[in-house]
Structure 1
Amino acid sequence: MLDYFVKQKNYLILIFTVAYLAVFTVNAFIASNFEFLYYTVLMTVLIYLVVVMNKRLHLAFFILVNLSLLGFLHLLGGNFYFYETRLYDFFFVPGVIRYDNIVHTYGTFIATLALYSLLADFIDGRIRQRYFIFALILVLMAIGIGTLNELGEFLAVLFFGAAEEVGGYFNNALDLFFNTLGSILATIVIYIYRERPRLIQEINEKIRKNN
């Protein structure tokens, strides 16, 4: 039974994704939440593109799971209310960190990991050896993806009057900040992952010296 689920894991992710898309679409339609009906359509197009690309690129299971989870968290933020406050506007740290900030950080974190998995084998070896340059390329590309998301929100403001929900200039600047933060965190994780044999060796040597 376990072997079956392992073999069908990509299909299970797709089923989960289609299921939550259907639920949130119905919920947004009932609530006349046209902004998030628009986001759901965008999400459906993106999922289709990921499915098509994955046939050629073979993204890691970890990346696919997190991309699906990211879509779920995004739609949940606009459709779920916590004590009459839209989840996207809910502060985990009063006046400092909102749910929206966490989703932006997580989103570009995963986008950066996905970019690394796609590009690592194609980047010139001299650049890969200079990790700071490679990391900078990944960060700039991930920020570019985040900017496309901001353009999507701008269209929601233009056509669905979502200015209040999306927020103003300060909110846009915060989105870009947390996008950058998520990408930088991802490059740190990638560095540790790439260098783990050397780092483990250095730690073991320090332990031996202390003993």
Structure 2
Amino acid sequence: MRTETRTYEVYNLHELTREAQAKAHSHWAEHCDYTWDRENRATLQAFERIFNIKVERWSYDSCTYTYRFTSHYSEEEDNLKGTRLLKYLVNNYWNDLYPHKTYWSRNYKKKRKSRVFVSDDCVLTGYCIDYEILKPIYDFLKAPNDTTLYELMDKCLDGFFKACRDDMEYQFSEEAFAESCEANDYEFLSDGTMFNQ
């Protein structure tokens, strides 16, 4: 039996040459999955459940996005705008958009709902993308304009998919890769190959 010992020179990402960093990033991006896809889908499904629309044939990646949606509102409802749309949203969706604030005891065993204060913090699923899909509605409720209900739903979906695309673009960026390397103590060989991974 023979035992061999090999010696490697290992580097942190910032110690590599620019070419080696690019190779390491490229290899990492090829084998990395987008982390938040399930949460994004849950937000979209919650939005569809609350509002009377169905999103079809949608997709997004780190460069682009596309979607289509069908409104199941009546033609009269689709064309509501201004004060009438404001009243329609308040009368039909206020409790979904502004649920009562929850207060927890110090040990988190007891909770109670406020009768006075409401919250607009991630009200669909508790994930931050909730705010992106609802932002056009919150903006409209603060300052009603001539946007119709159909256009408002389109703005919500456009903002949502744009945020998904931007988040995915960031996750595969060199900056996110550098943060991941630092957080996970990744080490590399001089040519950019990941060491022991």
Structure having the higher Rg: 2
Q: Which TM class, normalised by the smaller chain length?
A: under 0.3
- Higher helix proportion: 1
Question: Normalised by the size of structure 2, how large is the TM-score?
Answer: 0.25
- Higher strand proportion: 2
Question: Normalised by the size of structure 1, how large is the TM-score?
Answer: 0.23
